Amino acid sequence: MAEEVVTASWAYGPSTWSILVHGGAGDVAAERLPLHVAGCERAVAAGAAVLAAGGSALDAVQRAVEVLEDDPCFNAGTGACLNADGAIELDASLMDGTTLRAGGVCALEPFKNPIAIARRVMDESPHVLLAAEGAARFAIERGFQRAAPESMITELARAKLEAARAKHTTEGWAGGTVGAVARDANGRVAAATSTGGVVNKLAGRVGDSPIVGAGTYADDTAAACSTTGHGEAMIRVCLAKTAIDAVRATSAESAARGSLAMMHARTGGTGGAILAARDGSLGLARTTRTMSWAAAANDGTRASGA
């Protein structure tokens, strides 16, 4: 596989517990990158606190993603990018590697924390993925409140939509999708991913992030994976599942590198992937110019980058 397309990668571990978050593959301007890295560091600290207290990998990745959704820097929750109608439509999913249970929402109108709704889909419905109006109804029935769109739309999101409209493009995605993977002290792994998708997308477009096997996958016998990047390409190669299958024969970092190289070779798509393997080792790779990330482990390791 032509691995020269990989622009950066990182590895750590093994460890008793560990967590790794990303703030989206893309091309974030240099002056904004420190904000993205700091946001990832805050999110990983919140997830690490869950793991340090003996909490589950699933609770840790959900907590970390909620922190990222609340940070207006990122293209998830507050700060999500706008579709061609100038509206927010949110995609999110999470997966538990022990039970292989998963939950997701897609094309969801503004709600502050779509990942928390995805968790309830997993825990309280017989389904894996709820879309649009039905997902909103499910959320409201469980006490979630619709958010006023203005409370979640940032100036930056408006500016990016104007720029994309001027160029007649949906390309150059927002660069702020978020995700987290973790392994807890009991050897369980989990993954979560949340996004506004791509700028100027058609209303109703659903990307990889809420799709089990594309944007998110977790299996205690191998690893957990959250991906980011060109969603249509990632769906077509089932990127997260592909990376997890690769981890059975190689390291988390090398699985991330190899799966992204394969996606680029087969579809031309670029992006990033983060993995937490069953032995608590972590790995990430990207084929884009930037992808903010932060990691933590039980031995006190704290690392971050972009």
Residues between 123 and 182 that touch ligand ASP (CB under 6 A) = 173-174, 177
Q: Is 197 in the site for ligand ASP (CB under 6 A)?
A: yes
Please choose, out of 115-123, 152-160, 206-214, 288-296, the segment that lies near ligand ASP by the rule CB under 6 A. 206-214
Q: Which residues contact 153 (CB under 8 A, 6 or more apart)?
A: 82, 88
**Shortest gap between Cβ of 224 and ligand ASP (angstroms)?**
17
* Shortest distance (Å) from residue 156 CB to ligand ASP: 14
| Chosen residue from 41, 89, 208, 253 binding ligand ASP by CB under 6 A | 208
The catalytic position among 177, 195, 242, 287 is: 177
| Beta strands 102-108; 129-131: pairing state | parallel
CB burial of 183-215 (b: ≥16 within 10 Å; e: otherwise) equals bbbeebbbbbbbbbbbbbbeeebbbbbbbbbbb
Single-letter amino acid code for the residue at 203: A
Stretch that binds ligand ASP, among 125-133, 224-232, 256-264, 293-301 (CB under 6 A): 224-232
Query: What is the spatial distance between Cα 11 and Cα 26, in angstroms, rounded to a whole number?
Result: 20
Q: Which of residues 237-276 bind ligand ASP (CB under 6 A)?
A: none
Kindly give the residue spans of alpha helices, DSSP state H, lying in the chain: 33-52, 57-70, 114-124, 132-141, 149-152, 155-167, 231-236, 239-247, 252-267
C-beta of 235 vs 294, nearer to ligand ASP: 235
For ligand ASP, which residue of 72, 103, 104, 229 counts as binding (CB under 6 A)? Answer: 229
Which span (49-57, 96-104, 152-160, 228-236) binds ligand ASP, by CB under 6 A?
228-236
C-beta of 86 vs 172, nearer to ligand ASP: 172
- Is there a catalytic annotation at residue 177? yes
Q: What are phi and psi of 68, to 5 degrees?
A: -70, -35
Question: 135: which residues sit within 8 A by CB, 6+ positions away?
Answer: 105, 106, 107, 108, 117, 121
Q: Two tokens at 255?
A: 């699985």
Taking each helix axis from N to C end, the angle separating 252-267 and 239-247, rounded to the nearest 10 degrees, works out to: 140
Taking alpha carbons only, the member of 262, 266, 229, 264 closest to residue 243 is 262
Q: Which amino acid is at 196?
A: G
Taking CB under 6 A as the rule, does residue 195 contact ligand ASP? yes
Closest residue to bound ligand ASP by CB: 231
- Measured on CA atoms in the order 27, 33, 39, 41, is the torsion positive or negative? positive
Rule CB under 6 A: is residue 228 a binding residue for ligand ASP? yes
Q: Closer to ligand ASP at the Cβ: 97 or 215?
A: 215
Q: Rule CB under 6 A: is residue 198 a binding residue for ligand ASP? A: yes
Q: Residue 24, interface with ligand ASP (CB under 6 A)?
A: yes
Give catalytic residues, as residue numbers: 177
Binding site for ligand ASP (CB under 6 A): 24-26, 173-174, 177, 195, 197-198, 207-209, 228-229, 231
